[in-house]
Amino acid sequence: MKTLLQLSNIFHDRINTIKSIRNMKLITHNMLTSNALKTVKEGYPLQIYVDEVKQVDVDFQQQFITKTVSKLNWKALLFGAKCIGHSEGLPETLPENWESNDELLKKLHHVLLEIEVITGSLECPETKRRFPISNGIPNMLLNEDEV
Amino acid sequence: MSEISIKTPSFNHLSAADLDLIYAPSEDTFLLIDALEKDLKEIFKLEPCICLEIGVGSGVVITALGSALGPSSLYFGTDVNEFACKKAEETAHLNGVTLKTFCCNFVDSVPDSVKGSIDVLIFNPPYVVTESDEILSSPLASAWAGGEKGREVIDKLFPSLSSILSPRGVFYLLLEKNNKPKEVSSILEQFGIFKSQAVIDNGHGKKNCRV
């Protein structure tokens, strides 16, 4: 039986030939932890290291961004934004009237949806184990001896 | 009342070479979409915020749900196959759905705080009865080879299921008769307070489990 990681490597060569359409956004970063590693307690938020990043245009949809932000962990969002150098103008905590703050919502729309990481890595804050992001997809698979 | 329908997403972009590496949209894929369609009114009522598909594959199923529900929910997909993650995002994108994927086992890399807020969880698992060593034996095998009773992979998910779903969450799992769906129901009950019911049963059979 192959390990998941070995299996993932089989795909790698294949992926490198694909033109990427969509890549990792901060929304995804908010959903990821390294706490499946056996010694890790929180593993959250992960440090982002960026090798290749791009900006895309996404239509602003107020309802979508409001709903999204309400579901996200603000601290992790802010931390992620700092990692990729786009935290300017974001408050330390989400202000009370944020749903009606157009300027803030547009800023959040930009940082969450329009900045994409194509290549880089995510680092566990506790063990410093790195997870690669290649072709815009974070790979969180672990070796059997890490679980 | 008129039935709400789900549009089958287009997936013309998947080449024959792609389908050597990911599970091609097949009869069971469409069966799962049919089940979601049948339950769509109920799903609408949940006002889901987060929908996630484990083993997202080509991405056709979650894309179908996403185009029916619209952008009021966030859509995520996981797969142990990195290539499938990429292709699933492409499928969603081409059909106007924002889907974010990441490569992990089940939902292992999702933080506990998020795990408990998944409103719709979908899994078309590797359910084919095979020898145990066939599981993950090749890229494509990870999509279908299920080991003993076709349940070796599926069963690993059950213990954490109640911590993954939100209090109102629903779980759609595709099973066939060799997987012993009744046994699955009783296992689910052991791990939570799941009420499970078959949404569509045609020999393939499917379970819809509610918390």
The ipTM of this complex is: 0.90
Q: Using 50, 70 and 90 to split pLDDT, how confident is the model at B209?
A: low
Range of the structural domain that residue A56 is part of: 4-146
Q: For residue B19, is it within any domain?
A: no
Query: According to the model, what pLDDT value does residue A13 have?
Result: 47
- Cα B28 to chain centroid, rounded: 11
How many domains are there within chain B?
1
Q: Is the pLDDT of residue B103 over 60?
A: yes
Q: For residue B18, is it within any domain?
A: no
Residue B28 sits at φ, ψ, to 5 deg, of: -70, -30
Query: According to the model, what pLDDT value does residue B188 have?
Result: 87
pLDDT top residue among B36 and B193: B36
> B31-59, pLDDT tens digit by residue?
999 999 999 999 999 999 999 999 999 99
Q: For residue B134, is it within any domain?
A: yes
Alpha helices by DSSP H, B47-153: 60-69, 82-94, 112-115, 141-144
Residue with token string 């307690």: A41
Q: For residue B133, is it within any domain?
A: yes
Contacts of A3 (CB under 8 A, 6+ apart): A143, A144, B136
Residue B2 sits at φ, ψ, to 5 deg, of: -75, 145
B142/A7 Cβ within 8 A: yes
Q: For residue B118, is it within any domain?
A: yes
A18/B86 Cβ within 8 A: yes
3-state secondary structure of B170: strand
B103/A140 Cβ within 8 A: yes
Tallying the residues shown for chain A, one arrives at 147
Helix, strand, coil percent content, chain B, rounded in steps of 5: 40, 20, 40
B89-104: average pLDDT? 95
Query: According to the model, what pLDDT value does residue B211 have?
Result: 46
Q: Is the dihedral of CA B117, A122, B75, B127 positive or negative?
A: negative
B90/A22 Cβ within 8 A: yes
Strand partners, B196: B209
Residue with token string 């690669």: A132
Q: For residue B109, is it within any domain?
A: yes
> In the numeric block, which tokens belong to residue B11?
């997936």
B112/A141 Cβ within 8 A: no
Find the CB nearest A61 among B71, B117, B132: B71
* CATH at A131: 2.20.25.10
How many domains are there within chain A?
1
B169-197: average pLDDT? 86
Range of the structural domain that residue B71 is part of: 31-210
B189-210: average pLDDT? 69
Q: How many CB atoms lie within 10 A of CB A2?
A: 17
Q: Using 50, 70 and 90 to split pLDDT, how confident is the model at B138?
A: confident
Q: What is the mean pLDDT of each run of 10 residues along chain A (147 residues)?
A: 62 46 88 95 97 93 90 95 96 95 96 95 98 96 93
Contacts of B105 in chain A (CB under 8 A): 4, 36, 141-142
Find the CB nearest B82 among A15, A68, A71: A15
Residue B117 sits at φ, ψ, to 5 deg, of: -120, 20
d(CA A74, CA B46): 24
Contacts of B169 (CB under 8 A, 6+ apart): B46, B118, B119, B120, B121, B211
> In the numeric block, which tokens belong to residue B161?
């299921």
Query: According to the model, what pLDDT value does residue A50 have?
Result: 97
Q: Is B110 on the interface with A (CB under 8 A)?
A: yes
* CATH at B152: 3.40.50.150
Query: According to the model, what pLDDT value does residue A76 have?
Result: 97
Q: Is A33 on the interface with B (CB under 8 A)?
A: yes
Query: According to the model, what pLDDT value does residue B200 have?
Result: 76
Q: Is A31 on the interface with B (CB under 8 A)?
A: yes
Contacts of B120 (CB under 8 A, 6+ apart): B43, B46, B48, B50, B51, B52, B65, B73, B169, B170, B172
> B108-133, pLDDT tens digit by residue?
999 988 888 999 999 999 999 999 99
d(CA B191, CA B19): 36
